[in-house]
Structure 1
Amino acid sequence: MKKVIITVAQTGAFHGKELNPNIPTQPDEIAASAYDCYNAGASIVHIHTRDKDDRSSCDTNTFAEINSKIRSKCNIILQNSTAPPTKPGSVADEGLAALNLSPDVRPEMCSLDCSLITTSWGDLTWIYMWTRDWIMKTAKRMRELNIKPELEIFNIETLEDVFDIYQPAGILDDPISLSFVMGMNKISQGAISYSEQNLDFMISKLPKYQNVNFSTISIGAKTHLTGAVQTLLKGGNVRVGFEDNVYYNRGELAKSNAQMVERIVRIIRELGMEVATPDEARQILKLKKM
């Protein structure tokens, strides 16, 4: 029976409580939500940080506080974000705060965006300088720290880079874990929309000779659940959570991240699959001991 890894992305770097007051933004809220998601069936929790005013940040001390509080509650896999804060003048290296954590609070995974994209949010527009050199340097550092990267893939060119450039360079350990990011095209140049056709094309470009763990980050209420279910049916894992979608149903705000985890757990089991526990996910992803 296939074991499905569920990642929950509780809080992103863009929208906050102004869109859904149930989004956890502060360390205690994030830790409590992560524990609820763990009990609901999540294997991995994807973590962003906010400052005391709920603005996007990438603060090492805040990551340490969140990671410590979650680990005191449960053994869910911690996956810290390496996206820079959404503020004027932010640069790619600001997103690497989680790589500076001490071993006792260091995550087992970190996201690693692999696309050179331009994003506009409100009055701000920035080019994320995730160049090939930067990606290779960051992936190498993660490997040295025993942190497995979750590769975020926004387009086909990026996917080809993974298997034509980064993997041959010896900086990515098998099995590769990646997420197709779809639905940010309205705010990000270089990103693609979610559709089953686009998903099929991306999956078709995965190498047939090796095991690759993939999921889809389908952004927005219209495609969030559809993307998760279609990815399941095509052999992938799933990601849900407020970072990607604030609604449970059309016009109905989600009450919690755990509510979305509970729904995808029911769907997984109805499809004749089973949910991976955090320890089973560690075995599937071959995470290294910290």
Structure 2
Amino acid sequence: MSTSDKIIITCAITGSIHTPSMSPHLPVTPEEIVASALGAAEAGASVLHLHARDPQTGRPDQSAEAFAPILAALSQRTDAVLNLTTGGAPTMSVAERIKPVIMFEPELASMNMGSMNFGLYPMLDRYSEFRHDWERDYLEGSRANIFRNSLADIEQAMAACGAGGTRFEFECYDIGHLYTLAHFVGRGLVTPPFFVQSVFGLLGGIGNHPEDIAHMRRTADRLFGADYRWSVLGAGRHQMRVAATGLSLGGNIRVGLEDNLWAGKGRLSVSNREQVETARALVEGMGLSVATPDETREILGLKGRENTRFSATRRMA
């Protein structure tokens, strides 16, 4: 079956950017994350990008124990590709962030391609009351913190996480990140087909103007030719506009409550399913079709669910 017109929809379920006080619909507990992810998969997301949180406070939690119940449930209830973050949160060390991937050897994991400013503190202008003590300090701390992903960090993380056959969603927040990826491709440490996720609109990275999106696409085409698959995500309220622009340039798309809490002006998105349904309508409205999980595995050259270590999650959960 040809996959030339198949669009991969990734859904990022909860992330580490937004805090629980910002939306009652942000999934926090393992049960909420699983239910929200299943809804996204049923709506057409073939890749589920996963973070974990402390179920009591909602704080990002990158321990294998936090991921275990989520992976145990999802691996039994959906055939969607389970994509584990190695980004964790900007406050975490690289060693902490990669532990779940080393433990569970998923088919796909994110891999950030450069150190950067990661400014979340402007959200303090929009939110004044928080349920948990950590939330305000977490946002304010982003004013001074650097999200560390040095060249040595990236090389070591790829080696450690890729040892079990895991492939990567290379998260590129700026043009320089594409050149960093090209550096590792040139050294033979990354082999095609590779999956480039271009991130638009976060403070510290490239903007979300259509020219920014087109520039990222042109640069990736020049560096990688036919060896890569491209996807876009827009942070915040410009999410669907960025998705539509990315689709028009031949890209795949990522949506989800990690990236955006809103469904329109003044209206919170009620679920990840809702965002995937909107994304699917965009895809099908352009005469394209949504890739199934198995088609996604073929497009990205993934090893298959049977070659993960998700069985270990059932022992831990």
Q: What TM-score do the two structures reach when normalised by structure 1?
A: 0.92
The residue type paired with residue 155 of structure 2 is M
SS at match of 1:14: coil
Give the gaps of 5 or more residues in structure 2.
121-138, 308-317
Matches within 5 A, 1:138-177: 138-163=157-182, 165-177=183-195
Contact 2:198 2:231 survives alignment (8 Å): yes
Partner of 1:98: 100
Q: 1:61 aligns with which of 62, 65, 73?
A: 65
Q: 2:12 aligns with which of 9, 17, 31?
A: 9
Contact 2:90 2:148 survives alignment (8 Å): no
1:270 aligns with 2:285: yes
Q: Deviations over 1:14-38 (max 9, x none)?
A: 2133111111111111111111111
Q: 2:296 aligns with which of 261, 264, 281?
A: 281
Contact 1:10 1:243 survives alignment (8 Å): yes
The residue type paired with residue 118 of structure 1 is N
Greater length-normalized contact order (CA 8 Å, ≥ 6 residues apart): 2
The residue type paired with residue 158 of structure 2 is A
Matches within 5 A, 1:145-224: 145-163=164-182, 165-185=183-203, 188=204, 191-208=205-222, 209-221=225-237, 223-224=238-239
Contact 1:98 1:107 survives alignment (8 Å): no
Quote the Cα distance in structure 2 between the aligned partners of 1:207 and 1:236.
11
Partner of 2:132: none
The residue type paired with residue 123 of structure 1 is E
Matches within 5 A, 1:227-238: 227-238=242-253
1:42 aligns with 2:45: yes
Q: Deviations over 1:152-193 (max 9, x none)?
A: 101111111211x111222212111011111112xx3xx111
SS at match of 1:287: coil
Quote the Cα distance in structure 1 between the aligned partners of 2:288 and 2:54.
39
Quote the Cα distance in structure 1 between the aligned partners of 2:88 and 2:80.
24
Q: Deviations over 1:115-148 (max 9, x none)?
A: 1112344221322221111111211223211111
Quote the Cα distance in structure 2 between the aligned partners of 1:120 and 1:97.
25
Give the gaps of 5 or more residues in structure 1.
none
Quote the Cα distance in structure 2 between the aligned partners of 1:145 and 1:127.
29
Quote the Cα distance in structure 2 between the aligned partners of 1:151 and 1:32.
26
1:251 aligns with 2:259: no
Q: Deviations over 1:39-94 (max 9, x none)?
A: 1000000011111221112111111221111111111100111114355xx32221
The residue type paired with residue 160 of structure 1 is Y
The structure in which a higher percent of residues are strand is 1
The structure in which a higher percent of residues are helix is 2
Partner of 1:79: 83
Quote the sequence identity (%).
Answer: 28
Quote the Cα distance in structure 2 between the aligned partners of 1:136 and 1:200.
28
Of stretches 26-35 and 93-102 in structure 1, the one that deviates more from structure 2 is 93-102
Partner of 2:130: none
SS at match of 1:214: strand
Displacement of 1:97: 2.0
The CA RMSD measured in Å over matched residues stands at: 1.5
Partner of 2:136: none
Partner of 2:133: none
Quote the Cα distance in structure 2 between the aligned partners of 1:261 and 1:20.
18
Aligned positions, number: 279
Contact 1:143 1:172 survives alignment (8 Å): no
Q: What TM-score do the two structures reach when normalised by structure 2?
A: 0.84
